[in-house]
Structure 1
C-alpha cells in the first residue's frame, strides 16, 4: 500500500495490516481509492482533494458539514454521502500537504460515465432535484464558494474578452469563426443579467456538477440512489444544476467529439430530464425559475463554449489537451449544441410547458 495512504488511514484509526486499497473510478480531478477493511463488509472511498482546483479544501468540508447537519435534522432518512470524521474529529485528514476525505461506499451501487437510456436521465434529474428540494429551507448564504465564480457567466465573458485582447494573432485567426459566435451570443449574458437580481430568482444550495458520473444507481433495479461528489456544493441559481444536466445528458457524445454531425439533442432525454427534475422541484420553483427552465441549457452550454474558447486563446493553460487544437474543437462542439437548442426551441419549450401543466 502507498505509504501516504497508510498515513491517511492511520488518521482514521486504521492500521496498515487491516486494510487494502485500490484505485477506483474514472475521475480526473481527485485521486480516488476503494478501501476494504479486514473482517468488515463496509467499504469506504478515500479521495484526495486537488488543490490546484480547490484552493481551500476546508471550505468543502465546512459546506458539506453544514448541509449534512441540516439534512440529518430535517430529513433524517435522506441518504447524504458526507465525510467520515478522523479519529480526532476533523472533517478531512491532512497528510504531506494534501487534504483527504473518507466516505462510506454505497453497497450494490454503480456510477455511469455515459447515459444509455432516458430513464437514467430521469432518475438523475429526480435525485439532483430532490437534494435541492430538501435544501429549500436551508440558508444558502452560509455556504462559501469552493470555486469562486464557477458558474458566473459575467466572469466567464470578461475572461473571454481579456483572452481575446491578449491572444496571439495566429490563434485568433484560427478561432475567428468561434470568436464571432461568442460575441454574437453575448445576448445570453444580457438576458441572464435582466433576471439576476430578481427576488423571484433566488440563490439556492446547488450541487453545480450534475454530470451522470456524480449519480449512484442501484445495480439491480437501475433506480437512482443518491448524488455524490459534493466538492462544488455551494450557493447558486437553479439553472446551474438543471443546465449542466442538459449540457451533458442531451447529446450522445461529449464535448471532445470532433464530428459535428454527431452533435444533436436527443429529445427523449430532454423530456426525461425536465420530468424528473420537476417531479421534485415543480412545487418549489418560482414563476421566474419556471420561465427560465429552457434558458438554463443555453446558459450552461454557452458558458462552457466560452471557457473552452478562452482556454484556447490562452494557449491551453486550464483544460488538459492531447492535441493543440482540442479546446477549439470543444468550442465548435459546444456552439453546435447551442445551435441545436435554438433550432429546436419551440419543440423543447412545448415539452417544458406540458411538463409544467401535467
Structure 2
C-alpha cells in the first residue's frame, strides 16, 4: 500500500510537469493510475497482465543483450504477439542448454496481482537492455551491434519480419558498420594478438544468462532454491575485463558456418585441420593454458568425431568449460545420424499424451529425464547401464506394492496397460506423475533431519519384505568388483588420484547383503513439499537391491557433504550437519548394534564412488553422464577427499550415533 501511494505521488508529479510515468512491472497495482506505462521485464506474463489492466506497455523481457544470447533468440520475439510457447523456446534453445535450470527457475520469478480488467492497453514497442557489469567502453560495440540489428529489425517490422536469411542480413549490417568505423571487423583485435589461436577463439562463446556474474556455486544455490549467499562473486566493479572471454562476440558466427557445412555434407578438412593445429599452438601460450586447455582439448575431440572417430562422446564436449561454451559440439551432435532419433513427443503417444511443453531436466548421472506440461516426468532408461530394463521395472512394481504408494511414485501405465513404452530404437521409456516439489543438490540445514527420517523410514518399511529382487547392475556396491575393474582399465593421466586410491584400498571392509536397501540414497532423490519441511516422495528406485543398510546411511551422509553434482570440492565434515541427519535416520530406522559399521559407511561409500568415477573416466565416460571430458576425474578426486575426511571423523561419528540412538 505504501509503495502504491508513492507511485501515485510520482505519477501525479510527472503529470503536472507534462510528462508521463513508466514503471517496472513490479509497480502493477489496482491503485496505479491507468496512464502509467509498464515496462514488462519479467516475461510475457508481465506484458499480458499490464494490457489486461489497461496499461500501455514496453516489452524488454526477451531483449537483454547482457545475457550473451544468440541473435535468433531475441529475433524470435515480436513484442506484441509473442506467446508463452515462444518464451519456452528460450529454454529449449540448444545454445542455452547449460543454463536451462536457471531459465526455468527464473520463469517462476514473477507473480502478478489479479487486477480489474480495463480496455485501452497497447504495446508501445520494445526495449533492448544492456546492463554494464561486464561491459567497458572498448567492449560496448561488440556487445551491442552483434545482436542489436536483429532486435531493431524485429521492432520495426513486427510479426511481418522475415525469418529466413537473418544471419546474412546481420553480416551485411556488420560489414556496413565496420566500413563506417563504428565496429571493428570480426575478431580483428584478437586476430592480431593470437593469430595462431584463431581456429579455437572463433569457435568459442561466453556462457549464457547470469552464469558469468553468479559463478557456478551461486548459480547452483539459486536453481536449487537455496537463495543467495554472501560468498564473493567472480566479478567486482574493479575486475579487469581484458580476457579472451570478454573480447569474443556473444555469438560465434564461425560455428554457424561450420555447422552448415557439416549438415550439408561438405568436406570438413578446412575446419578440422585448424582445429587440430590450435591445440599445439596453445602450448606456446602458457598464460592461457589454465583458462583454455579444457575447451581446446574438447575442440580437438570434435575434430576427431567429425573425421570419423565414433568412440568420441560428442554430447559431452559442448561445455561449459569455465566461462566458455563450445557450440560446434552441440551442432555436430544434433546432426549425428547415429544417435537415437526418437523425440520425447513421439514416445508420449504410447500414453495418449500430447506434450505441448517439454524440457529436459538436467538431473542425475544416468537416465535422460524430461518434464512434460508440468504434469508428467518422462524418462528414458540408459540401456548401457541397465541391461535388463524389464527386470528393473518388475523390482519397482514389487516395491510399490509392498510400500503401498505412500512415498513411492508408481509409473503411469501406457494406453495398452503396460508399465513402460518402447520406441522404434528399442529404448525403454517410462512416465511418472509430476509432483510440485523442491529438490536439492545441496541440502539446507533445516531439512537434514527430515531427509534422514525419510530414508530411515524407507529402510524400516522394507525390513519385512519377502519378495525376490532381480539383479539389474552387475557388482553394484561391491568394492572388490569395482577395484578389479579399475585395475583392468586403460592407463591415463590422472595425477595422484590412482596412487592415493591404491594406498587406501585395503582399509575398507565390505558389508553383508542383509535386507532390501534403496541403493542410491542421495539427497537429490528426495522430493520435498513446496512450502513445508517434509519429504513427499522418494524417487529413483532403479538400484533397489539386497544389501547392507549401512550403505544407504553412508550414501546419505556422503551426499549431504558432497559438492554440487559431485564435481565441485566436497564440504568439510561438521557435527552440526551430521547430527540432525543421523538423528532423523535412526529415529525412523531404529537402534543398531554395530555402531562402528555405520560410522565407517560414509567413508566406504565415498571411497567406492571415487573408484567408480575414476574407472569410468579411464574407460571413456561410458557409465556416468558428463558435461565435459574430465568431469568423472573431478568427481573421483572430490569423493576421495571426502572419504579421507570421513575416515578422520570416524570416531566422532560413532560417538554421535551412539548418543542419539533411540533406546
**What TM-score range do you get, normalising by the shorter chain?**
0.7 to 0.9
Give unpaired runs (5+ residues) of structure 2. 1-84, 86-340
* Greater Rg over alpha carbons, structure: 2
Alpha-carbon distance between aligned partners in 2 of 1:323 and 1:91, rounded to the nearest angstrom: 34
Deviations along 1:204-260, one digit per CA (max 9) or x if unpaired, are 2222122222111011113111201222222222133111112111245553225xx
2:551 counterpart SS class? helix
Deviations along 1:53-89, one digit per CA (max 9) or x if unpaired, are 21221112101111112223xxx6x232011212222
Partner of 1:188: 507
Alpha-carbon distance between aligned partners in 2 of 1:122 and 1:21, rounded to the nearest angstrom: 36
Partner of 1:120: 447
Normalised to the residue count of structure 2, the TM-score between the two structures is 0.45
Deviates more, 1:85-94 or 1:310-319: 310-319
Alpha-carbon distance between aligned partners in 2 of 1:3 and 1:182, rounded to the nearest angstrom: 41
Alpha-carbon distance between aligned partners in 2 of 1:316 and 1:64, rounded to the nearest angstrom: 27
- Any conservation in 1 of the 2:600–2:650 contact (CA below 8 Å)? no
User: Does 2:491 match 1:167?
Assistant: yes
- Any conservation in 2 of the 1:64–1:230 contact (CA below 8 Å)? yes
Alpha-carbon distance between aligned partners in 2 of 1:33 and 1:6, rounded to the nearest angstrom: 10
Measured on the aligned residues, the alpha-carbon RMSD in Å equals 2.7
Partner of 2:580: 272
Partner of 1:39: none
Partner of 1:33: 370
User: Does 2:331 match 1:20?
Assistant: no
2:417 counterpart SS class? coil
Partner of 2:519: 208
Closer/same/farther in 2, CA of residues 275 and 313 from structure 1, 3 Å limit: same
1:109 counterpart SS class? coil
TM superposition shift of 1:43: 2.3
Alpha-carbon distance between aligned partners in 2 of 1:336 and 1:90, rounded to the nearest angstrom: 45
Between Structure 1 and Structure 2, the one with more strand by share is: 1
5 Å-filtered alignment, 1:75-154, equals 78-96=406-424, 97-106=426-435, 108-115=436-443, 117-139=444-466, 142-154=468-480
Alpha-carbon distance between aligned partners in 2 of 1:99 and 1:277, rounded to the nearest angstrom: 34
Deviations along 1:307-344, one digit per CA (max 9) or x if unpaired, are 23333444555445566554444333222212211222
TM superposition shift of 1:155: 0.4
Give unpaired runs (5+ residues) of structure 1. 37-41, 197-201
- Any conservation in 2 of the 1:248–1:254 contact (CA below 8 Å)? no
2:488 counterpart SS class? helix
Partner of 1:66: 398
Partner of 1:199: none
Deviations along 1:269-292, one digit per CA (max 9) or x if unpaired, are 211221111111115x5x24x441
Deviations along 1:10-58, one digit per CA (max 9) or x if unpaired, are 32234x3xx523215322432323334xxxxx92222221212212211
Deviations along 1:115-141, one digit per CA (max 9) or x if unpaired, are 2x223222222112212111111126x
TM superposition shift of 1:180: 3.1
Alpha-carbon distance between aligned partners in 2 of 1:187 and 1:9, rounded to the nearest angstrom: 49
Closer/same/farther in 2, CA of residues 45 and 343 from structure 1, 3 Å limit: same
Alpha-carbon distance between aligned partners in 2 of 1:135 and 1:325, rounded to the nearest angstrom: 38
- Any conservation in 2 of the 1:203–1:235 contact (CA below 8 Å)? yes
Partner of 2:383: 51
Normalised to the residue count of structure 1, the TM-score between the two structures is 0.80
5 Å-filtered alignment, 1:260-299, equals 263-283=571-591, 285=592, 287-288=593-594, 290-299=595-604
- Any conservation in 2 of the 1:127–1:225 contact (CA below 8 Å)? no
User: Does 2:566 match 1:255?
Assistant: yes
Closer/same/farther in 2, CA of residues 90 and 341 from structure 1, 3 Å limit: same
Alpha-carbon distance between aligned partners in 1 of 2:368 and 2:580, rounded to the nearest angstrom: 32
Alpha-carbon distance between aligned partners in 2 of 1:159 and 1:352, rounded to the nearest angstrom: 34
Aligned residues: 322
User: Does 2:156 match 1:156?
Assistant: no
5 Å-filtered alignment, 1:314-333, equals 314=619, 316-320=621-625, 325-333=630-638
The ranges of structure 1 where at least 4 consecutive aligned residues each deviate by more than 6 angstroms after the TM superposition are none
Alpha-carbon distance between aligned partners in 2 of 1:79 and 1:322, rounded to the nearest angstrom: 31
Partner of 2:167: none
1:32 counterpart SS class? strand
1:186 counterpart SS class? helix
- Any conservation in 1 of the 2:409–2:432 contact (CA below 8 Å)? yes
Alpha-carbon distance between aligned partners in 2 of 1:3 and 1:185, rounded to the nearest angstrom: 45
- Any conservation in 2 of the 1:251–1:266 contact (CA below 8 Å)? no
Partner of 1:10: 349
